[in-house]
Structure 1
Amino acid sequence: MIDRRFFNLALGGLLSVPFAHAQSRRIVKVANPNSTVDVSQAFVTCGRDPRLKFYESEGLDIEYVNMSSQTQAMLSIATGQADTGALVPALFLPAIAKEPGLGLLAIYNWLPRNANVVVVDPDSPVRAISDLAGKRIGIRNQGDGGIAQLQLMLTELGVSTQNIDFIAVGDGGLAGSALKQKKVDALVTYDTAAGRIEAVGFPLRYLPLPPQYEKLPAGWFGFRKKDLKDDRKTVVGFCRGMAKSSLFATTNLAAALDLHWSLYPESKPKSTSPEAVRKEMKTILAQRRINWVRRPDDPDPRMGASSAGQWRGTIASVAKSSGNPLLPQQIGDPANIFTNELIDEINDFDKAAVVRQAKSFKA
C-alpha cells in the first residue's frame, strides 16, 4: 500500500521541469524502471533510427531516464523529472486512490491485451484453464501477482478457486525444470517470462485465456494532465512516434532489434554470437510482439485507445489482487485516470505505409 509518508519520501529531490529542448527537437524524457535500456523496449526505440525518423518527423527525440523501480518511475513523471513512462495498473491505481492530486493520466495503451499467460508442458493432459482446479500451479514467488490473476481467470470460467496449490518455482530454467519434472501442472506468469523459459530450452504450450480476461489491457504510457493542455503537440507526437515504432516492430521484429542495438550497443549481450542473441530475443518477445498492436477482433482498432469498461475490469482486477475491495469507490469515474482525447490525432498516419516500410526494410 502506498501511504502519504512513502509518497513524500519517493518524491524527495524531484523537481518539476518542462519538456527539455535540444537544438530544434524537443527531448522527451522517458522514465525507465529497468535501470538499463534493454531490447524489450525496441517497440519504442526503433523509431529513433535516422532511417525511420518516426520521432524526428514529429520534431522530437527521446531520452531514457533510468530509475530503480516502477514506483520511482511513476512518481518521476508526476514531479517532472521525466515526461512520460509506462504506468503499471497494480501501482498506478492504488497511488491515484491514495493521492488523487497525483496529476497523471493514462494516455496511450501500449499493451492492449493481457500480458499474463498460463502455460503447460506440450505433453500435458491439461487442455484448458478450467482443467486446473485442484492442480499444482507454479508461480515465481509467494508474493507473485499470478495467484490473483489465475483466481480471476477461474472466477470468470465459473471454476472453484479452492484447493489450488501455488508453488514458488522461480524464473527461467528453474521454472521450466519444475514443469518438465511434473513438480507443477502449469505455470502462471507473463509473456516475456514464458519466452525466457522457452529460450533456455523448455518448450511450452499456451492455454487459451478466458475471453473477457484476455481483453483486459496490461500497460499504458502516462503523462501529466497539465501537459495535455500546455504541450499537446509533444504528447501527441511522442505517442504517434511510438505507435509507428510498435507497428514497425510487430511487422519486422528482427529489424527492430537490430535498430535498437545500433542505437544502444551497450544493451546487446556480448557473451554469445549475434545470431544466437537475435534468436533468443525473438523467442522471448514472440508473445509480447503480438500484444503491441490491435487485433482484428478488437472493438476499437485505434492504436493506444482504451475504454471505460476495460478500466473498470482492470480496477476490479487490481482491487482483488491488492486486497482492497474499496478501490473502485476510491477511484470513482474511470475518466479520473484515463482519456482517449488524443487518440484520433495519434492515429493520424498511414499505417499501411509503415507496414510496407517494415516488410521491405534492410538493416
Structure 2
Amino acid sequence: MWTRRDFGLGLGALGLGGALPALAQKLRVMKVANTAAVNDPQQCFVTAGQHPRLNFYKPDGVDVEYVNMSSMTQALQSLRAGHADFGPAVPGILLPAMAKDPALDLVSVYKWLPRNANVIVVKPGSAIKSAADLAGKRIGVRSQGDSGIVVTKTMLAELGLKDDRCEYIAIGDGAPAGAAIDNDRVDAMVTFDTAAARIELVGTALRYVPITPKFAQVGSGWICVPRKLLKEERKALVALFRGIAKSTLFSHANLDAGIDLHWAVYPESRPKGRSEAEARKELAFILKDRRNSWMRRPDDPDQRIGASSLAEWKANIDMTAESTKNPKLADELGDPNRLFSNELIDEINAFDKQAVVEMAKGFRLQG
C-alpha cells in the first residue's frame, strides 16, 4: 500500500513535485470528442491519470472533459465547430472529409493506438477464411457511421477487390451484435478488438479472420486537434498528451490499477448487477489485446510515444484513395506533411518513463 510519503516520492520521480503550485492556477479543461462512452473502462489509458493519487494532468494546468459522440463523423463536426478540443482521427474517415471541406483544418498530433486494433470476426463454421471472402457479403458494423465500413473497403481495395456488392448492416454492440451473428443476419463483422471481445462475453462464439498484411502494419488510432489550437495552445496540448502518455504507460503496466482508478474517477461506470470480481474478469478479457495495442511494436524504428511518420500517412492516403475509389485524393489533400505533426512529441516524452512503470507495479488504490 502506498503511503503519503510514497506518493510524494512518486511525484518527485516523475518530475511533478515542482509543478504543484500550478494547481492553484486556473485549469485549461480540454474537451475530447469521445466516440466510446466514458463509462467504458478501456478509457483508462486517459482517465487513470485524472485520479488525485496519480495527478498526471492538473499540476501542468490541464484536465480532460469527455463529450460523448455517436460516431466519428459527429466527432469531426464537433471539432470543426469548436465544441471539442481534440478527438479521434481515423484516416479512412478524416482524409475524405478534409479533401471535401478545406475548412476542416485538423492535424493529427498524437498516435494513441500504434498497432492495428481492427478485427474480422465470423461464426466458427463460417466459409469465410480470409479478408478476400468479405467481397459481396453482409458485413456487420456497429452503426452506419462506424469505421468498420471504411476498414472493410480498405482491406478489399488492398486485395484488388470491390465492395460494391457488400451490404453493411448496423448491428450495434454486445448482445445485439452477438444475436445478429448467431442468427445469420450478417456473414461477418468488422470492428475493433474490444467490441469483438464484448460479443464473446455474451456467449457468442467467434472465429477471428486475419486482416490484410499491408493494413495490419498501419496504426489504427490517432488524435487530432484544430490547427488553430495547435498554434495558440501548444503548452496546454503538450501537458495534455504527456498526461495521456503517462496514463497509458501506467495502465499498461498495471491494468487492474488502471481500471480501479477509472472506476474511482467515474463512479457511474462501476459494475451494476454483478460482482466487481466478475466485472474485472470481463474487463481483463476485453482489454487483453487492446492493452498491447496501446504500445508501439518492438520493431518500430521510432519508439517515442505518440509519434507518427510521413510514410504511414502516405500509406493512409493510398489506402483511403483505393477504398473510396478516388484516385485524386492525394492531389486534393496536397502536402501530406500538413496532415500530421510531431512537433509536440519530444516534449510529450520528456518524463521518466521507467518511474511511471515502477509506480504502476507497486500501486494499490486500496488495502
TM-score over 0.5 for the alignment? yes
Offset at residue 236 of structure 1 (A): 0.9
Partner of residue 14, structure 2:
none
> Is contact 2:321-2:327 (8 Å) kept?
yes
Amino acid aligned to 1:139: G
Choose from 190, 193, 206 the match for 1:191: 193
The letter of the residue matching 1:74 is L
CA contact (8 A) 1:112 1:215 kept: no
| Displacement of 1:33 | 3.6
2:55 counterpart residue number: 53
1:93 is aligned to 2:95 = yes
Q: What is residue 132 of structure 1 aligned with on the other side? A: 133
* Structure-to-structure mapping, 1:50-89, within 5 angstroms: 50-67=52-69, 69-89=71-91
Partner of 1:7: none
Q: Could you tell me which of 220, 245, 248 is aligned with 1:246?
A: 248
After superposition, what is the alpha-carbon deviation per residue over 1:69-120, rounded to whole angstroms, capped at 9, x for unaligned?
5444334334443322223334422332133233321100111222321234
Residue 195 of structure 1 contacts residue 287 of structure 1 at CA under 8 Å; is this kept in 2? no
User: Structure 1 length normalisation: TM-score?
Assistant: 0.80
Work out the CA distance in 2 between the residues paired with 1:197 and 1:116. 14
* Residue of structure 2 in register with 1:319 after alignment: 321
TM-score for the superposition, normalised by structure 2: 0.79
User: CA offsets per residue over residues 160-207 of structure 1, 9 Å max, x none?
Assistant: 568986574824345445656777665332212201111212343433
1:106 pairs, out of 105, 108, 113, with 108
Q: 1-side partners of 2:59 and 2:230: how far apart?
A: 20
Aligned to 1:309: 311
Counterpart-to-counterpart distance in 2, 1:70 and 1:150: 16
CA distance in 2, matches of 1:182, 1:69: 25
Q: How many residue pairs were aligned? A: 341
- Displacement after TM superposition at 1:291 (Å): 1.4
Change (3 A) 1:353 1:180: same
Residue 47 of structure 2 is aligned to residue 42 of structure 1: no
Q: Name 2:208's counterpart in structure 1.
A: 206
Work out the CA distance in 2 between the residues paired with 1:232 and 1:267: 32
| 1:10 corresponding residue in structure 2 | none
Q: Which residue of 2 aligns with 1:356?
A: 358
Q: RCO higher in 1 or 2 (8 Å CA, sep ≥ 6)?
A: 2
- Report the equivalent of 1:24: 25
2:297 is matched with which residue? 295
Moved over 6 A (4+): 123-126, 162-165, 181-185
How many angstroms apart in 2 are the aligned matches of 1:243 and 1:231? Answer: 18
CA contact 1:87–1:221 (8 Å) conserved in 2:
yes
| Counterpart residue number, 1:220 | 222
Task: From the superposition, tell whether residues 23 and 96 of structure 1 become closer, same or farther in structure 2 (CA, over 3 Å).
Answer: farther
Whole-angstrom distance in 1 between the partners of 2:53 and 2:179: 43
1:255-270 equivalences in 2 (<5 Å): 255-270=257-272
Gaps of 5+ in 2: 1-21
Task: Tell me the distance in 2 between the aligned counterparts of 1:172 and 1:237.
Answer: 35
Residue matched to 1:18: none
Whether the aligned pair in 2 keeps the contact of 1:107 and 1:220 (CA below 8 Å) is: yes
- Superposed CA RMSD in Å reads 3.2
Q: 1:187 to 1:95 in 2, by over 3 A?
A: closer
1:210-254, CA deviations, whole angstroms, 9 ceiling, x for partnerless residues? Answer: 332112222222223233333322111111110111111222222
Identity %: 47
Query: Would you say the 8 A contact 1:198–1:284 is kept in 2?
Result: no
Distance in 2 between residues matched to 1:71 and 1:164, nearest whole Å: 24
Aligned amino acid, residue 361 of structure 1: F
Q: Would the aligned equivalents of 2:169 and 2:186 in 1 still touch at CA under 8 Å?
A: no
Give the one of 108, 116, 119 matched to 2:118.
116
Taking a change above 3 Å as real, the CA distance of residues 290 and 331 of structure 1, as seen in their structure-2 partners, is same
**Which ranges in structure 1 are unaligned for 5 or more consecutive residues?**
1-20
Change (3 A) 1:64 1:175: closer
Change over 3 Å in CA distance of 1:350–1:137 after alignment to 2: farther
Q: Partners of 2:185 and 2:268 in 1: how far apart? A: 38
Instruction: Answer whether contact 2:23 2:59 (CA < 8 A) is retained.
Output: no
Q: Which moved more, 1:248-257 or 1:282-291?
A: 282-291
Question: Letter of the aligned partner of 2:28 in structure 1?
Answer: I
Equivalent residue, structure 1, for 2:19: none
| TM-aligned CA deviation for residue 303 of structure 1 | 1.1
Q: Secondary structure at the match of 2:244?
A: helix
1:137–1:188 contact (8 Å) kept in structure 2: no
Asked if the contact 2:33–2:86 (Cα under 8 Å) also holds between the matched residues in 1, the reply is no
